[in-house]
Amino acid sequence: MNQSADILEQLAQILEERKSAQADSSYVASLYAKGLDTILKKIGEEATETVIAAKGDDAGQVVYEMADLWFHSLVLLAHKGLGPQDVLRELERRFGLSGIEEKASRTST
Side-chain-side CA neighbours of residue 90 (13 Å): 8
Q: Is the pLDDT of residue 109 over 60?
A: no
**Dist CA 33 CA 20 (whole Å):** 10
pLDDT in tens, 2-42: 777 789 999 999 999 999 999 999 999 999 999 999 999 99
**Dist CA 101 CA 40 (whole Å):** 29
pLDDT in tens, 52-105: 999 999 999 999 999 999 999 999 999 999 999 999 999 998 888 776 765 677
pTM above 0.75, yes or no: yes
